[in-house]
Chain A
Amino acid sequence: MKLIYKYLFIFVAILFSSVSFGQSVHDLRLNEMMIKNIDNFSDEYGRHVPWVEIFNTAYNTVNITGCYLTDDTTGFAAFASKKTDQIPAQWYRIPTDQKMYMPQRSYLVFYLDNSPLFGPFHTNFTPAESNTHYIALISSNGKEILDILEYPAELRDTMRVFGYLVDGVRNPEAFKKGKRADGEIGYLTAFTPASSNVTQVGISKQEKLRRDDPYGIGMAIISMAVVFTALITIFIMLKIFNYVTRRTTQKSKAQEEQKSVQEVAVDNNDNVGANAEEIAAIGTALHLHFGSMHDEESEIITINMPSAHYSPWAQKGLSMKKNPKLK
């Protein structure tokens, strides 16, 4: 008989342990949500869509695979009582994914965007198209509402976040009666998706800009000042380049001149003063002059130095690309 009690005890212990593991989905909370998301938290595609954050209040890992998210629990009673096997259309069954194993005290954000094809964190409903004012988290067997976050209707029209004022802390007795304790949920002062709602972080950059510089004039002035500062810094650097280059060129020119003067002094026979290029130019000009027919001319040949405006860049061939054809 004692042996029977012993086995019974072990059986009950195993049963309870499995129940306690199973109960950890009860530690999940719909912790924070936002509906009118214009320039706040974005999904992996960069879109600003409504979102809800789930928080695992437990100190162990919870697998949320198979649980349902919805904004319409009308089919709940029928599904829970097994009157129908059909999962209500507005229920989003959280798919199997490694990321659905929520470590202790962790957060997961689901996008309420009616785009389930976008990935496991995108639901098949959006509160923007719903008449209800709540989001519910339902257990995987469909029999239990794990948490329900009712929000005020004006949340749809305001860029604010709503949720647990202290992460996932709720009054269990009041919740069983379908009520909330005072000060349990409400508008939050800061957007904290995937992190704690209790934060000392102030308002976001965008909010600050919207408040302090609604017309953007301040930012425009500061930005232009920074752009000018950056480019003026480069300008100064280039000026220094120019100065150094000019000095170096002048120095080397002076040295060359000095050298050529010395060479001329040494070689008195070479008193023409023209370099090889000039001699070649004169020779070519004389050849062309005497080798062709001419009218009466001055017979003076001069070398014109290039004007100050000459530049090898002033050539059509250096145009970057041809004009678009106007057909």
Chain B
Amino acid sequence: MIEFFKEGLLQFLSYSGFGNCTWGHIIMIVIGLVFIALGIIKEYEPLLLVPIGFGIVIGNIPFTDGLQVGVYESGSVLNYLYFGVVKGFYPPLIFLGIGAMTDFSALISNPKLILIGAAAQFGIFAAYITALLLGFSPMEAGAIGIIGGADGPTAIFISSKLAPSMMGAIAVSAYSYMALVPVIQPPIMRALTTPQERLIRMRPPRAVSHREKVLFPLLCILLTAFLVPTGLPLLGMLFFGNLLKESGVTKRLANTASGPIVDIVTILIGLTVGCSTQATNFLRPASVLIFVLGAFSFVIATASGVLFVKFFNLFLKGDNKINPLIGNAGVSAVPDAARVSLVEGQKYDKTNFLLMHAMGPNVAGVIGSAVAAGILLSFLY
């Protein structure tokens, strides 16, 4: 009788998490809890870090193979939810929501700001070159480079196509650095600008008509998608969402796209990407390199934006000049990068409000990173 109980207890323990736990699981669970803490206590991107952090915890609960519970086990619930990440249909849905939330007025009223969004994409390709030099394959290097676009959905979309085995590390890296934009960017901005440049006041943007706002997404999708058709899933959804918002006659659809849809997909994508970071896949030297390269691409992207503005200013006169403190916003971390421009600008002149000026390159960065993603796909996929 005692033997029976002993055997039963041992069998139960062998099925439990305690019986299958490794140091890798514990480390990953701690990382997940740190993410949750950063989201709740520090309020760093809580909408992303809390689902991802919880997903990391779920994905690293140890269990016996064959119970159909893990994200990689065929037929499990998490496996079905993960399907949207593997097949890449969550990111375009998030882009639909982003389009329905974004106001492109700042860009329309001051078109030259769009070029900052293009310059900041250099971070992607600098990281691509560095990753190649470090021995990553071209596809892996492309997936790592996209972290420099500072766009979580784009990073997931590209890595799901080019390097699915690295998607967890790339997504977590991209979202971590997006959350750390207020920490990473200001020192670079200060290092690359002079006190006089930081005081530049920009001409207030003009009022943008309804007709311009409606025509903008239509013409943009035609121009960009013809040039880079591989970016269609992202660009198409982005501009479609924006048309729903600006048309004025599809308010209900715009509200759904920018509210319930984006919320649902954010929950699913955050949770399942977190789950995909199982210790066996995640705790590898390559993951550390991905984090280092991600930081590098972020720094280069920020520096490229700021330096491009300085260069651009050589050709501009009077109140046409651009404050280089908005150069950082060329990365597409909307709206955090723009808010960093505002905060930094006000440190030197409390009456200088750079927020809406910075929103121009910021939304241009969204378009730029989607275009860059399309180019990477057309080269590598």
Which A residues form the contact surface with B (CB < 8 A)? 38-39, 42, 44-48, 115, 117-119, 205-206, 209-210, 214-217, 219-220, 222-224, 226-235, 237-239, 241-242, 245, 308-311, 313-316, 318-321, 323-327
Contact = CB atoms under 8 A, between A and B. Distances in A.
A122 B277 CA distance: 21
Given A216-B129, A227-B368, A313-B204, A321 B335 contact: yes
Contacts of B353: 311, 313-316
A44 B72 CA distance: 10
B165 A223 contact: no
B302 interface: no
Contact of B205 (A39, A308, A311): A311
Contact of B111 (A219, A239, A313): A239
B7 interface: no
Contacts of B61: none
A92 B216 CA distance: 58
Contacts of A38: 137
A270 B44 CA distance: 61
A112 to B, nearest CB: 16
A237 B223 contact: yes
Contacts of B35: none
A287 B374 CA distance: 64
B163 A220 contact: no
Q: Chain B interface: which size bin?
A: 35 or more
B132 interface: yes
Contacts of B118: 224, 227-228, 230-232
Contact of A223 (B43, B364, B376): B376
B122 interface: yes
B182 interface: yes
B343 interface: yes
A55 to B, nearest CB: 25
21 contacts: A38-B137, A45-B86, A118-B73, A209-B379, A210-B138, A215-B129, A216-B141, A224-B121, A224-B125, A227-B121, A230-B368, A231-B114, A231-B118, A232-B115, A233-B223, A235-B112, A237-B220, A241-B216, A309-B203, A313-B205, A324-B44
A315 B350 CA distance: 11
Contacts of A320: 335, 338-339, 355
Contact of B227 (A214, A217, A230, A316): A230
A48 B182 CA distance: 37
Most buried by B among A230, A235, A311: A230
B142 to A, nearest CB: 9
B189 interface: no
B356 interface: yes
B227 A229 contact: yes
A227 B115 contact: no
Given A42-B164, A220-B125, A310-B204, 19 more contacts: A44-B86, A45-B86, A46-B163, A47-B164, A48-B165, A119-B74, A206-B139, A215-B133, A222-B375, A235-B115, A241-B108, A242-B109, A242-B111, A245-B212, A309-B203, A309-B204, A311-B353, A313-B204, A327-B41
Contacts of A316: 353
Nearest to A313: B356
B117 interface: yes
Nearest to B342: A319
B267 interface: no
Contacts of B223: 230, 233-234, 237
Contacts of A325: 42-43
Contacts of A44: 86
A115 B124 CA distance: 34
Given A215-B132, A227-B121, A318 B355 contact: yes
B115 A231 contact: yes
A119 to B, nearest CB: 4
Given A216-B129, A231-B368, A206 B121 contact: no
A318 B122 CA distance: 30
A151 B304 CA distance: 50
A60 B164 CA distance: 37
Contacts of B321: none
Interface string B213-239: 001100110011001100000000000
B66 interface: yes
Contacts of A226: 227-228, 371, 375
Contact of B372 (A42, A227, A233): A227
B77 interface: no
Given A209-B138, A217-B129, A223-B379, A117 B66 contact: yes
A117 B65 contact: yes
Given A119-B74, A245-B209, A313 B355 contact: yes
A159 B255 CA distance: 50
A45 B72 CA distance: 8
Given A206-B137, A231-B115, A319-B339, A308 B132 contact: no
Contacts of A319: 339, 342, 355
